[in-house]
Structure 1
Amino acid sequence: MKTIIYTATLLISMLVNSQTAYEKGMTKAFALWGEQKTDESINLFERIAKAEKENWLPYYYAAQVHIITSFRIKGIDAVEPKLKKAQEYLNEAKTLSKNNAEILVLEAMLNTSYVAHDPAVYGPTLSAKVEELYQKAKAIEPKNPRATLYHAEWQMGGAKYWGKDPKAFCPEIEKAILYFENDKHDTPFYPKWGKDRISQVQATCKE
């Protein structure tokens, strides 16, 4: 038993030690985010981005932390600085990866946060932009699960606002489920998030 434990410990140690500085940094940044240390996580993603000058992913995740946490902040004045900084990170990511569906999905979510925090001001000015970003993402990558799922959620929200039936978009959720099952990329740290959101969005279809 001791031999098995020792061997397992040795293998884990070898695995950790075999990671590159980039992999160690990214793993730590995700761990900080998981521990709700969002500012530290963002700062680390930014430092990695400055070191990995041709890699869009660190900027992408720095933006994502800002965007995801923005939905839990009350008041447009409090959230606006985070969204502006997130846009800066996304702009950097876009210079490194052109026509990237994943980046466009995040940008759509960023603008959705503006609309959610102040619909009277940002609804008329940004709703069309959100729709355009999702359409572009799906044109680039038709089977992208995040583009399909979050676009459907956006459309459902719009349908409710305009007094239409949000269940019209339920078939898109079924597509997203299938796309998540086939969502495979070899690039380390490539976006794979969003699957846990399906049940919440799908609840509308069961009402």
Structure 2
Amino acid sequence: MKTVILILVSFTVNMLTAQTHYDEGMKKAFELWESDKADEAANLFERIANAEDQHWLPYYYAAQINIIQTYRTKDAAAIEARLKKAQKFINHANLISKDNAELFILEAMLNTAYVVYNPSNYGMTHSPKVEALYQQAKSLDSMNPRAILNHAEWKMGSAKYFGTDPKQYCPEINKAIALFENIENKTPYYPTWGLNQVARIQKNCDE
């Protein structure tokens, strides 16, 4: 009986220690990101992911940073390398958390980055992927404000390209705002971004 108790105690202590290390690492990574040390943050998120392979969020943030950073360079090789790395992180995250709307949104963002970076090469092949990924995200979580907002921005960009009125998607932005104000998720480090992008996207409604 004592042996069983010791095993249980040891297991509990190890679990608590692992969670503490995970929390400390995640907090440090976010601090680096907020201090404009994006690549250092991405590297730390990747190390956390490799050490804590039951968590999908470190892979998520490592991928997200690499996607965002592609908009800050015009070096084609660097962009391609970042997007390929981000795709690997997303693939890992999908193995841990299946049918996750947040991961579909992130992969839509990745494919959008390909289209923005090189529309002549990727526009025809990746645009349908973006649309399909947002549809999948919304089918899994119809009240996800990031899915609604980012999908609206994507459709606005497509409308401009094809010469139609992007303002037809403005009600979706208003819907996303309302959802941002009411949504709550108690999972530590769960994505909360998006509301800070509303003003930029809403400019399409004022033009």
Q: Distance in 2 between matches of 1:110 and 1:73?
A: 15
Question: Which residue number in structure 2 is paired with residue 192 of structure 1?
Answer: 192
Map Cα deviations across residues 165-206 of structure 1 (whole Å, 9 max, x no partner).
000100100110011112210110000011100011011112
Q: After TM superposition, give the deviation of residue 157 of structure 1 in Å.
A: 0.2
Q: Distance in 2 between matches of 1:203 and 1:155?
A: 14
The answer to whether structure 1 residue 105 and structure 2 residue 105 are counterparts is yes
Q: After TM superposition, give the deviation of residue 75 of structure 1 in Å.
A: 3.8
Letter in 2 for 1:32: L
Q: Is the 8 A contact 1:183 1:192 kept in 2?
A: no
Question: Which residue number in structure 2 is paired with residue 151 of structure 1?
Answer: 151
Q: After TM superposition, give the deviation of residue 69 of structure 1 in Å.
A: 1.2
Q: Distance in 1 between matches of 2:39 and 2:127?
A: 29
Q: Distance in 2 between matches of 1:103 and 1:54?
A: 15
| Equivalent position SS for 1:20 | helix
Question: Which residue number in structure 2 is paired with residue 32 of structure 1?
Answer: 32
Q: Distance in 2 between matches of 1:21 and 1:66?
A: 24
Question: Which residue number in structure 1 is paired with residue 161 of structure 2?
Answer: 161
Q: Is the 8 A contact 1:76 1:114 kept in 2?
A: no
Q: After TM superposition, give the deviation of residue 78 of structure 1 in Å.
A: 2.5
| Equivalent position SS for 1:193 | coil
Q: Distance in 1 between matches of 2:50 and 2:113?
A: 27
Map Cα deviations across residues 112-167 of structure 1 (whole Å, 9 max, x no partner).
00000111110011100000000000000001010000000000000000000000
Letter in 1 for 2:28: K
| Equivalent position SS for 2:168 | helix
Q: Which runs of 4+ in 1 moved over 2 A?
A: 75-78
Equivalenced residues, count: 189
Q: TM-score, normalised by structure 2?
A: 0.89
| Equivalent position SS for 1:196 | helix
Q: After TM superposition, give the deviation of residue 110 of structure 1 in Å.
A: 0.5
Unaligned runs of 5+ in 1: 1-18
| Equivalent position SS for 1:71 | helix
Q: Is the 8 A contact 1:75 1:117 kept in 2?
A: no
Q: Distance in 2 between matches of 1:120 and 1:43?
A: 31
Using the TM superposition, name which of 28-37 and 190-199 deviates more: 28-37
Question: Which residue number in structure 1 is paired with residue 94 of structure 2?
Answer: 94
Q: Matched residues, percent identical?
A: 57
Unaligned runs of 5+ in 2: 1-18
| Equivalent position SS for 2:185 | coil
| Equivalent position SS for 1:70 | helix
Q: After TM superposition, give the deviation of residue 38 of structure 1 in Å.
A: 2.0
Q: TM-score, normalised by structure 1?
A: 0.89
Q: Distance in 1 between matches of 2:182 and 2:84?
A: 33
Question: Which residue number in structure 2 is paired with residue 9 of structure 1?
Answer: none
Q: Distance in 1 between matches of 2:109 and 2:180?
A: 19
Q: Distance in 2 between matches of 1:72 and 1:40?
A: 16
